Structure 1
Amino acid sequence: MSKTITTTSGGKAPVRIAFEIVPESTLPPDTAVVLDEVDGLITARIGKRHITPELRAELEDLHRTVTQQERWVQTSPELDPTRLERPAEGLGIAHVAWERVAAEVLPTGVLAAPLERDRMLVWLLHEDHASAQLCAEVSEYGRRIGGDGLWEQRWPG
């Protein structure tokens, strides 16, 4: 269970990102992942053959760090609750993606590693723990979320 954290400025708690493994029958046909977003929470429902429980847990922990440090913040989905359902507009504000890599690219025992720079966040995922389809679909969401500014990076200046 996640803790409620208040920002140093006294604002509301950072957004929580949850990853759930679900039966594929609960997703649209031929879909690996569906993202649901409300103010303060984004949930990725992932078909069980597309991710391992170990990678799911590691990703949730790593994403918690990114949001608690407020390096990435959600713009208000309340103004446009169906914004994730539309295709990317191609604004190119930031690059957010998931990429599968060979095990030897990651340290021993590590299943995911973030690479973050100004206007970029790429997650390197152990290829035995995430499907190519999942990474492609999440990267497409990334083109919408980061690329179109639905989430903003607060990279130190």
Structure 2
Amino acid sequence: MSDGATKAPAKIRFQVVPMDALPSGRACRVDEMDGLIVASIGAKHGTPALCDELTLLHEALMAQGRWEQTPCSNTDRIDQPAEGLEMASIAWEQVSADVLPSNALAAPVEREGALVWLLNEQHASKQLCAEISDYGRRIGGDGLWRQHWPDA
């Protein structure tokens, strides 16, 4: 039963952090709590401009209701191994700047069951893309976040 209140969309924020703020050998760390995911990206693996653009683009996806966080009572659930449910795929891929719209550092490509982020290779390392794609197997694949694809 609903009390009529509308829950605000969850937020996804990206930030650059010093390399020593991450576990040794890692490009990023993703922390989740109810209503928020924060992706901390090592300074050698991503740029502040990319983080700003990704935060803005994710705000639009959330505002459109395209993705929503499932209830998050366990703050370390994102760090558990993927269960392989394959509900949806989320991945990051490096591309050359000329593949993206003029002056864009990132662009989402989405269809039902999949979201691929194309990232300017000068602003995101291969290791970062691989690590975030691993998180995506857990986040989207196991339904921690659910896609709401518009009906045709």
Fold match, TM over 0.5? Answer: yes
Unaligned runs of 5+ in 2: none
Separation (CA, whole Å) in 1 of partners of 2:118 and 2:79? 25
1:99 match: secondary structure: strand
Could you report, residue by residue, the CA deviation over 1:96-129 in whole angstroms, capped at 9, with x for unpaired residues? 0010001111122111000010011000000011
One-letter identity of the residue aligned with 1:36: D
- Size of the aligned set, in residue pairs, is 148
Please provide the CA RMSD for this pair. Answer: 1.0
Matched, 1:98 2:88: no
Separation (CA, whole Å) in 1 of partners of 2:5 and 2:53? 29
User: Post-superposition shift, 1:56?
Assistant: 0.9
Separation (CA, whole Å) in 2 of partners of 1:20 and 1:56? 6
Separation (CA, whole Å) in 1 of partners of 2:103 and 2:15? 22
Aligned mate of 1:31, from 22, 26, 42: 26
Match of 2:66 in 1: 71
Separation (CA, whole Å) in 1 of partners of 2:62 and 2:101? 23
Structure-to-structure mapping, 1:110-121, within 5 angstroms: 110-121=104-115
Match of 2:14 in 1: 19
Matched, 1:126 2:108: no
Could you report, residue by residue, the CA deviation over 1:65-123 in whole angstroms, capped at 9, with x for unpaired residues? 01111100000111x22111111111111010010001111122111000010011000
1:31 match: secondary structure: coil
One-letter identity of the residue aligned with 2:80: R
Runs of 4+ in structure 1 off by over 4 angstroms are: none
What is the TM-score with the length of structure 2 in the denominator? Answer: 0.94
Unaligned runs of 5+ in 1: 1-8
Aligned mate of 1:141, from 129, 135, 143: 135
Match of 1:3 in 2: none
